[in-house]
Structure 1
Amino acid sequence: MHEFDFIDGAVLWPPARGISDVFREQVDCYSYFDVSAASILRAVEDLAVYARTNGPFDGVIGFSQGAVLAATLLIALANANDTAPNNSNSNSDLPLALRPLLAEPPFRFAVFLCGRDPFDLAALQEGEIRLLRELPPGHSAWIRIPVVNCWASNDEDYPGMGPSLSALCDSGVNEQVVHAVGHGVPTEGEDLHRLVTAVRATMERAQHCELAQT
């Protein structure tokens, strides 16, 4: 049996295309952040605080912007640990909200559904928006926990971003599922079966990794 926490956005935002087609103007829609660096940084910090105060969590599942948010947090923590692995709680370059998560990672696995390019946290702290689209020389992966990357080959909203996010993950623990339902999540047929199989395999892999570390 699984338990889920659903985190709502706080920024009032126009409905996405699929939502507006169904509900028209009958519902208020919210985003995790707006188009400013300050808003994005605050959303990452809010996720870190939520994970710390309500966890521990086994995993995180994010769709589109939610996947961006989770990936940005995971990459920021990985970069900080790479920079100061023996001084994890006093990394002065990392926002205060994120520092407690260096010693105890917030998630053991991740599922990115129609993920997009994550943000460079250091740039956000300088008031700039910069996307992370490729690994720097000498890096094999930024996201090293078991992960599912599920995206559409015909995603017209954010074409090409699913594969680029997947390329930032450790290929040895990266389950990739490519479907053809556009910027959405498979709900039936073989695509759904492959997604479920990938998520189950990733959860088992995360459990095995934890047992190996104890």
Structure 2
Amino acid sequence: MDSERHSYRTKRSKILCLHGIGTNSDIFEAQTAALRHRLGDDIDYDFIEGAHPWPAAPGIAETFGSQQVFYSYLDGTAQGAVEAINALEQYAEDAGPFDAIIGFSLGAALAATLLLRGGSQTAQPAFRSAVFLSGTLPGDWDLLEKGVMGFLQANQVKAPIQIPTVHAWDPQDPDHPGQSHELLQMCCEKNRVPVQHGAGHGVPSREEEVGALAAAIKGMLASLD
């Protein structure tokens, strides 16, 4: 079985996808449709649905319709955050390995929290690379384990994320100003690629911005070979 998986992965890339809070996997598929089209047909995407029903994020119901259920990976508690991180790690181990993880907003924060929590648990990350779209601050694992909701700042990170990363954000993000840049600083400088856009706290849709992001992701995936 291991040899069959290796043979499969030499032909195609496999990417895990995490949506933002107050959306769902179908919406994230729609939000990333143009990007995935530009990335080509040799990638398989695995979209994970959040476990907790949640109010729609601003503008989501108006754009995608209100007759659906919106989700969050977190329930708003520290214990729930720990459970979500552990569940993500277990899923990645069971369904992976993955060449990359793509997370938007909370999805990016969830992935970064797993990658930053340190110790032997992340010595062999389940993702070979990561794409953070309008990423927000990751959780502080030490605080979460103590039952306290807390978030990391870049100056608190002792061991940055080492895998290749692509960061796409709007410097004028009105919802979470400065957080994507903080996340950028939590990643190894030589392995990170910043891509700025003008889509606010969203996934870029303008052709030139989507093209720039796709090129960065293609370059990142190529570097894994």
Question: 1:3 — aligned with what?
Answer: 44
CA distance in 1, matches of 2:131, 2:66: 30
Q: Give the TM-score of the pair, scaled to structure 1.
A: 0.81
Question: Which has the larger displacement, 23-32 or 60-69?
Answer: 23-32
Q: Give the TM-score of the pair, scaled to structure 2.
A: 0.78
Question: 2:101 — aligned with what?
Answer: 60
Report the RMSD for the aligned CA atoms in angstroms: 1.5
Flag as ranges the 4+ runs of structure 1 deviating above 4 A.
none
Number of residues of Structure 1 aligned to a counterpart in Structure 2: 184
Alignment of 1:52-201 (within 5 A): 52-76=93-117, 79-80=118-119, 88=120, 99=121, 102=123, 104-136=124-156, 139=158, 141-201=159-219
1:135 Cα deviation (Å)? 3.1
Contact (CA 8 Å) 1:115, 1:165: kept in 2 or not? Answer: yes
Aligned to 1:17, the other structure's residue is in SS state coil
Q: Which structure would you say has the larger RCO, counting Cα contacts within 8 Å and 6 or more residues apart?
A: 2
CA deviation string 1:52-91 (max 9, x = no partner) = 1111111100001100000000001xx21xxxxxxx4xxx
Question: 1:15 — aligned with what?
Answer: 56
Question: Which has the larger displacement, 194-203 or 17-26?
Answer: 17-26
CA distance in 1, matches of 2:101, 2:82: 19
1:24 Cα deviation (Å)? 4.8
Contact (CA 8 Å) 2:82, 2:144: kept in 1 or not? Answer: yes
Identity %: 40
CA distance in 2, matches of 1:136, 1:26: 42
CA distance in 1, matches of 2:66, 2:209: 31
Structure-2 change in CA distance of 1:24 and 1:200 (3 Å): closer
